[in-house]
Amino acid sequence: MKKIGIIAKEGRSEPIRILEELLPWIEEKGFTCLVDEEAAKALAKRGYPRAEIAELADLIITLGGDGTILSVARLVCARGVPILGVNLGGLGFITEVGRERVKEAVEKALACEAECPVEERMMLAASIKRHGELIAEYSVLNDVVINKGASQRIIDIEAYVNGALMTTFRADGLIASTPTGSTAYCLSAGGPVLYPTVAGIVLTPICSHTLAMRPIVLPQEVRIEIKPVTKNVEVYLSLDGQVGFNLREKDVVLVTKSPHKAKLLMPFERDYFQVLREKLRWGSR
């Protein structure tokens, strides 16, 4: 491991202050730092496009929140590059390291796998077909979301599992999420929390028209086809809440387990239930 990619949340001053101390310290250890363009500009250093960092780096450190990790995971999952997430955001379910332990965590990450174990997280593959032709495909760490446009009240969405009709959801939308994504939009829509390493996919309707229409956990090997069938309405596809576009009538969204996994470095011992108690205030009165 020689090349360390560093990607910071844009428009924040705190990552720059951390990097002013962290970069010289890493470089003194004999590593090359590849800093994303915006952060590098603030530091008066040479910067690299994020896509180039994803191609060159042996390890990536993110300075930001969960959103920063989500975007980086999509970039590097095909190469299997491990990610060390430093939480400078709010909730921080995925970002493992607090700002006060940055140097300690990086030192473990630069040492070896024994010092800093890797936790592999399931990702989803989403492909969109229009008139039978593949028009886009993505890997996502959190979720694939079908949502109604702002002016519509409700939409009908057919869901098929392994070719068999599951049901037609009458709702504001439908979420297909990973266990990692179960604490994101899925949770807000009333879905269950899945332990991060559980092998499953959660389907959660958004504001279902029928109270009996509840979330369901499916095996990770299933093939899910999602078809918005309401005519003459706006329907939007969102991936990890960061990428998306408008769907057209008769478009089909295919969701399966991705062949790639996100590799998250875990420099410190972690009690997931403590995370739930702290982040979701479980047990509080």
Residue 84's pLDDT is 95
Looking at beta carbons, which pairs linking 153-156 to residues 24 or more positions away fall under 8 Å?
154/209, 154/230, 155/228, 155/230, 155/233, 155/235, 156/228, 156/229, 156/230
Q: Does one domain contain both 155 and 248?
A: yes
Is there a domain that residue 285 lies in? no
What CATH number does residue 75 fall under?
3.40.50.10330
CA distance readout (Å), 151 to 117, 147, 154, 226, 233: 47, 12, 9, 21, 8
Spatial contact of 250 and 129, defined as CB atoms under 8 Å apart: no
Whether residue 81 is found in the same domain as residue 111: yes
66 carries an active-site annotation? yes
Which residue, chain included where needed, has tokens 């997430």?
85
pLDDT at res. 175:
98
Rounded CA-CA distance 30/199 in Å is 39
Instruction: Read off the CATH number of the domain in which 147 is found.
Output: 2.60.200.30
What does DSSP assign to residue 38?
H
Q: Kindly give the confidence (pLDDT) of every residue in the chain, 285 residues in length, as a single tens digit, with 9 standing for 90 and above.
A: 689 999 999 888 899 999 999 999 999 999 999 999 999 999 999 999 999 999 999 999 999 999 999 999 999 999 999 999 999 877 778 887 888 889 999 999 988 656 788 999 999 999 999 999 999 999 999 999 999 887 678 899 999 999 999 999 999 999 999 999 999 999 999 999 999 999 999 999 999 988 888 999 999 999 999 999 988 888 999 999 999 999 988 899 999 999 999 999 999 888 888 888 888 888 877
d(CA 267, CA 224): 35
Burial of 262 (0-12, 13-18, 19+ CB in 10 A): buried
Identify the CA nearest to 134 among candidates 143, 124, 125: 125
Q: Domain range holding 57?
A: 3-117+266-279
Region of 63 on the Ramachandran plot (φ > 0 left; ψ -120 to 50 alpha; else beta)? beta
Residue labelled with tokens 């709010």: 90
CB 4 within 8 A of CB 29: no
- Residue-by-residue DSSP string for 165-232: EEEEEEESEEEEE-TGGGGTHHHHTTPPP--TT--EEEEEEES-SSTT---EEEETT--EEEEE--TT
Bridge-based pairing of strands 243-247 and 235-239 is: antiparallel
pLDDT of residue 203: 98
Tell me, yes or no, whether 96 and 20 share the same domain. Answer: yes
> Are 254 and 165 found together in one domain?
yes
107 with 163, same domain? Answer: no
**Domain identity same for 30 and 104:** yes
- Judgement on whether residues 111 and 133 belong to the same structural domain of the protein: no
Cβ neighbours of 246 (radius 10 Å):
10
One domain for residues 53 and 155: no
> Does 284 fall in a domain?
no
Phi-psi region of 168 (alpha: psi -120 to 50; beta: other; left: phi over 0): beta
**Cα–Cα distance measured from residue 57 to residue 5, given in angstroms and rounded to the nearest whole number:** 5
Catalytic residue among 36, 66, 172, 251: 66
Question: Are 153 and 37 part of one and the same domain?
Answer: no
Cβ–Cβ < 8 Å for 129, 135: yes
Token code pair at residue 106: 């990086």
Query: Do residues 221 and 97 both lie within one domain?
Result: no
Clarify whether residues 112 and 134 are in a common domain.
no
Are residues 172 and 100 part of one domain?
no
What is the tally of structural domains in the chain?
2
Predicted confidence at residue 113, as pLDDT, reads: 58
CB 86 within 8 A of CB 268: no
Strands (E), the chain: 3-8, 32-35, 59-64, 83-87, 97-98, 118-130, 133-140, 143-148, 155-161, 164-171, 173-177, 200-206, 216-219, 224-228, 235-239, 243-247, 252-265
